[in-house]
Amino acid sequence: MNRTRLALIFALALPGICAAESWKDVALVDNNCSAKVKADPDAHTKDCAVKCEKSGYAIVASDGTVFKLDAKGNKEAAAALKATTKTDHLRVNVSGTKDGDTIKVASLKME
């Protein structure tokens, strides 16, 4: 296969590799507590999440996988937490792209 064909195949495949994903109705937790509350993230409280804002935020997927949020996601999560009247069962919808165990957030909305 010549280099031109190989480059064309790679260029066509690249958008699919970087495609945005979405996580619906997932638990929002702070990074300090993510390992502790992974088994029951809905019991994690808003007060704790707001208090631990400096550690950043993460989501816990339905299979228990924890994904950290990037800087933009952390800002959006902090704003959503401060605006919600919920005290626990903190659920969000997130869209973005995965980069290892971190999500580069395009949007985050509290459920």
Q: How far apart are CA 51 and CA 83, in angstroms?
A: 14
Domain boundaries along the sequence of the chain: 20-110
What does the DSSP assignment read for 84-107?
A: ---SS--EEEEEEEEETTEEEEEE
Instruction: Answer for the pair 87, 79: CB distance below 8 angstroms, yes or no.
Output: no
Instruction: Answer for the pair 42, 31: CB distance below 8 angstroms, yes or no.
Output: no
How do residues 46-89 score in pLDDT, each as one tens digit? 999 999 999 999 999 989 999 999 999 999 999 999 999 999 99
pTM, rounded to two decimals: 0.82
23, containing H or E segment: strand 21-30
